[in-house]
Amino acid sequence: MTKKIGRFYKTADFAKLAGVTVRTLHHYDRLGLLKPTGRTAKGHRLYGERDFARLQQIVTLKFIGFPLKQIKNILNRDSFDLATELRSQRDIIVEQRRRLELAVKAIERVEGVLASTDVPDWEVFAEIIEVINMQNDMTWTDKYYSEEAKQKIAERAATVPRDIIEQAQRDWPALLKEVEASLGEDPASENVQALAERWAKLVQGFTGGDAEIQKGLNKMYADKQNWPATFPRPYSDEVQAFMQKALAIRKERVIS
C-alpha cells in the first residue's frame, strides 16, 4: 500500500512513482537540487506534486547533458533564457561528437595497419594517440576568443560539411610545405602571391570572414610563446613573418 500522507509521498514511494532511486533523491537533497517539501514528525522526507514537477525538469536537463551544478543554477533562477542554455549545450554536444569521430577515424587507421601485417606498428599507435590528444585538448584556445566568437565558431563547426573540414586539414600541410620551399623569394612575386591567396582562403574557411573570430585568431598566434608545450606550432616564425609580408602586399593590391 502506498505510504501517502495527505498529498505527500514518502521517499521510497516517490522514487518509485518518479522512476528514480532513493539514493538519487538523497543525493539531490544533499546538493540542494531537490529539497523535499516537508518531513514527518520522525524526520522522514515528504515529497509533493511540486517536487515531482521539479524532478521532471532535473531529469530532462540531465538527459540533455547539463551537469547537476548548472541545473541547480538554472532552476533556482527566477527566470532564465532556455534558448541560450540549450544552444550552449548543443555546442558542447557537437564538440563531443567531433571528438568521437576523431576516435573512430583513429581506430579505422589502426584496423588498416593490422589488416596489412600481423605485427602491430606501435609507432603508428603512438602517432594516432598524439594526434587525438592534440586535437581534443583545444580548450586552452578559448581565452583568446570572445563569447560571441566562440559561439560563432561552434555554429560553424556544426554547419560546415565534414568533407570540407577534412579537405582543409589536408590542404594546410601541403601549403605550408610549399611556403617553406619558397622562403627567400620576393613576397610580391607571382608564386608567393598565389600561396598568399591560398593561405587567405584557408583562414577564411575557419573564420567564415567574421571579424570577431579573426580577432581571436590573431590574438592566439600573437601569443605563441605561451602555447602548451604539448601543442606543436603549425609553422615557424620565419614562415609567419614571410606570409605576413605577402598577405600585406596582397591586401594593398586588392584595395588599389
User: Which cell numbers hold the place of 150?
Assistant: 566562440
pTM of the model: 0.48
The span from the first CA to the last CA of the chain, in angstroms, equals 86
Alpha helix ranges (H) inside the chain? 11-18, 22-31, 49-64, 68-76, 82-116, 122-136, 147-159, 162-182, 190-207, 211-221, 237-255
Instruction: Tell me: pLDDT of 243 over 90.
Output: yes
CA 148/CA 129 separation, integer angstroms: 32
What are the residues whose beta carbons fall under 8 Å from the beta carbon of 9, sequence distance 6 or more? 2, 3, 17, 46, 47, 48
pLDDT, tens digit (0-9, with 9 covering 90-100), for 143-202: 899 888 888 887 777 777 777 877 887 889 889 999 999 999 999 999 999 999 999 999
Other CB atoms within 10 A of residue 18 CB:
19
Q: How far apart are CA 36 and CA 29, in angstroms?
A: 7
In DSSP notation, 20-70 reads --HHHHHHHHHHTSS--SEE-TT--EEE-HHHHHHHHHHHHHHHHT--HHH
Tens digit of each residue's pLDDT (9 = 90 or more) over 38-89: 888 888 899 988 898 888 888 888 887 778 888 888 888 756 566 776 776 6
Mean pLDDT of 202-211: 91
